[in-house]
Chains A and B, each alone.
Chain A
Amino acid sequence: MIWDTVHETMPRPELEKLQLERLQAKVRQVYQKVPFYRQALQEKNLGPESIRSLADLARIPFTSKQDFRDNYPFGLLAVPREEVVRIHASSGTTGKPVVVGYTRTDVEIWAEVMARTLAMGGVTHDDVIQNCYGYGLFTGGLGIHYGAERLGATVIPASVGNTKRQLMLMADLNTTVLTCTPSYSLIIAENAAEMGIDLRDTSLRVGFFGAEPWTYAMREEIEQKLGILALDIYGLTEIIGPGVAQECPHKQGMHIFEDHFLAEVIDPQTGEPLPYGEEGELVFTTLTKEALPVLRFRTRDITSLNPDPCPCGRTTVRMQKVRGRTDDMLIIRGVNVFPSQIETVLLQVEGVEPQYLIIVDRQHHLDDLEIWLEVSPEVFSDEMRGLERLEQQVRRELESVLGISARVKLVEPRSIERTEGKAKRVIDRRLM
């Protein structure tokens, strides 16, 4: 079902005309209200009048995650702080999160795009949605929540965890829609099996899974074990949260809500825009958001765009499943982990060499983190106990800093491959 027929099936020339008008208005707004953008535009000799066609977008400088950090917390706001009715945040590398604000209108827009998202999976006001994304600073929980209410569906704000209770609610309230991370859906399935519940016999019909990388193989497993349609959902805090793009039941990529979010794919090295179909870094410009308009935000997600008409009738461009990231941030069990954080922990432990390897894998549907450490002569002795203690200490420290557990494996010196220039510190075996 299409929630907003006007915008979701708009002929592309008309859509592009709308995008241009909105882009011009946003550039004008940020030029006047946000010193960061005014300066960036002025450095390129650009002003609000410079944007005459959508092609002029390529002249606008990029915005990065670092710019959010540099302007923490409210430096990028285009409205007075008093007009902000909501704050959300995502976890960051070193302490400071990315903080985003929403005006009342922004919250309305968010509810709209989230209603479109859910409707795309066939959800209506008759449905019961069990929302197992985390509620709080994370955009996932409340984003889904407001969209579901906009749709008029019944929301169970279950949040994450307490799986047995989740299953009880699911059975007793006849949940039809599940929203959570893909890995959590499989944990729910495992718990159900242990309790002797066959989820295929329940009212569950469709699920919206995202916030962490997952494969099509995992989709098949989810669909088979839960007896549902499993759809891919995409969003990011800097842009709005969930509700940026959503897969329809034809499963041919995720429809981007282009009347609100203008998408480009660029060459991550040169910054040059790439034609449709070519793989590169996804870049978003928000066209309607008031509190925090963003020009050309580099998502670091690698994908390609497809503007061909979709059998579902929508004319919006579709992004392929994200294939990787340009930077080194890892999402492990839904938690953002940067290799730099791991390195910081390791180097604080006495006797640990700065030679390490981070190996991420997926076992039994759960992300698995293993750290290989080279043993230094300083820490080595004739006793096993000393080395075992070192392993335990590193494991404890990692757990307390990252909030997730990791296995630690001691290896021989020089057994970790050295590379010229940027060291290869991470092996992600979960790759799509």
Chain B
Amino acid sequence: MRMKQVSVFIENAPGRLAEMLRVLQQNDINIRALSVADGTDFGIVRLILSDVDKGIAALRGAGLTASANDVLAADIPDEPGGLLGSIVEPLGKSGINLEYFYAFVDPTPGRATVVLKVRDLEKAEKALGM
């Protein structure tokens, strides 16, 4: 399924991440999942939030650079080879390159969720049988 992800520009300096987290906390927004892309001087924090619109508004209101974009969320078995068999192999066979992905364990026992970004979401959905 498709999901909205929120990305935030964070300077690579002490205290900057805390600043962002405080904004979310003060607005009662929960982080469901996150990953960080780190560069030398800055990083991009990618978030799955409990409330996307409210999250974006709160972050921008606090002066942060934030944007929302579509990603795919795939439900996979939480077992050895789960990621390989459910995601990576099917995408590879269809010649689809993964831009990035991250995963978290689902509240449902034995299941996990993978958040993934590819150039062509539709093509990926087909390859994954979504």
Chain A residues within 8 Å of B, Cβ to Cβ: 375-377, 380-384, 387-388, 409-415
A403 to B42, CA, bound (A): 27
Answer whether A375 and B9 are a contact pair too, CB < 8 Å, given A382-B67, A412-B65.
Answer: yes
Chain B residues with Cβ below 8 Å from A383 are 37, 44, 99-100, 117
In the complex, the chain B residue whose C-beta lies closest to that of A372 is B41
Instruction: Determine whether the beta carbon of B46 is less than 8 Å from that of A382.
Output: yes
Instruction: Determine whether the beta carbon of A382 is less than 8 Å from that of B9.
Output: no
Chain A residues with Cβ below 8 Å from B67 are 377, 380-382
Chain A residues with Cβ below 8 Å from B10 are 412
**Among A388, A409, A412, contact of B9 (Cβ-Cβ < 8 Å):** A412
In the complex, the chain A residue whose C-beta lies closest to that of B7 is A382
Closest 8 CB pairs of A and B: A382-B7, A409-B41, A384-B37, A380-B65, A412-B11, A414-B63, A382-B69, A375-B9
A380 to B39, CA, bound (A): 14
**Among A376, A387, A411, A413, contact of B39 (Cβ-Cβ < 8 Å):** A387
Chain A residues with Cβ below 8 Å from B44 are 382-384, 387
A384 to B37, CA, bound (A): 7
Instruction: Determine whether the beta carbon of B117 is less than 8 Å from that of A375.
Output: no
A414 to B61, CA, bound (A): 12
Instruction: Determine whether the beta carbon of B63 is less than 8 Å from that of A382.
Output: no
Instruction: Determine whether the beta carbon of A387 is less than 8 Å from that of B117.
Output: no
Chain B residues with Cβ below 8 Å from A412 are 9-11, 16, 42, 63-65
A377 to B69, CA, bound (A): 13
**Among B41, B60, B64, contact of A410 (Cβ-Cβ < 8 Å):** B41
Shortest distance from the beta carbon of B59 to any chain A beta carbon, whole Å: 11
Chain A residues with Cβ below 8 Å from B71 are 382
Answer whether A388 and B11 are a contact pair too, CB < 8 Å, given A377-B65, A381-B69, A412-B16.
Answer: no
Q: Report which residue of B5, B11, B66 has the largest number of chain A beta carbons within 10 angstroms of its beta carbon.
A: B11
Interface SS of chain A: loop
Shortest distance from the beta carbon of B123 to any chain A beta carbon, whole Å: 18
A410 to B64, CA, bound (A): 13
Further contacts, 5 of them, CB under 8 A, given A380-B65, A387-B44, A409-B41 = A382-B7, A383-B44, A384-B37, A387-B39, A411-B42
Instruction: Determine whether the beta carbon of A380 is less than 8 Å from that of B5.
Output: no
In the complex, the chain A residue whose C-beta lies closest to that of B69 is A382
Chain A residues with Cβ below 8 Å from B60 are 377
Q: Report which residue of A382, A383, A384, A413 has the largest number of chain B beta carbons within 10 angstroms of its beta carbon.
A: A382
Instruction: Determine whether the beta carbon of B11 is less than 8 Å from that of A411.
Output: yes
Chain B residues within 8 Å of A, Cβ to Cβ: 5, 7, 9-11, 16, 37, 39, 41-42, 44, 46, 60, 63-67, 69, 71, 99-100, 117
A413 to B66, CA, bound (A): 11
Chain B residues with Cβ below 8 Å from A411 are 11, 41-42
Chain A residues with Cβ below 8 Å from B11 are 411-412, 415
Chain A residues with Cβ below 8 Å from B117 are 382-383
**Among B5, B7, B65, B69, contact of A413 (Cβ-Cβ < 8 Å):** B65
Chain B residues with Cβ below 8 Å from A380 are 7, 9, 65-67
A382 to B63, CA, bound (A): 17
Give me 17 A-to-B residue pairs in the complex whose CB atoms sit less than 8 angstroms apart, sorted by A's number. A375-B42, A377-B60, A377-B66, A380-B65, A380-B67, A381-B67, A381-B69, A382-B44, A383-B100, A384-B37, A384-B44, A387-B44, A409-B41, A410-B42, A411-B11, A412-B11, A413-B63
A415 to B64, CA, bound (A): 10
A412 to B63, CA, bound (A): 9
Chain A residues with Cβ below 8 Å from B16 are 412
Shortest distance from the beta carbon of A418 to any chain B beta carbon, whole Å: 12
Chain B residues with Cβ below 8 Å from A414 are 63
Shortest distance from the beta carbon of A375 to any chain B beta carbon, whole Å: 5
A164 to B117, CA, bound (A): 52
Instruction: Determine whether the beta carbon of B65 is less than 8 Å from that of A375.
Output: yes
Shortest distance from the beta carbon of A351 to any chain B beta carbon, whole Å: 11
Chain B residues with Cβ below 8 Å from A384 are 37, 39, 44
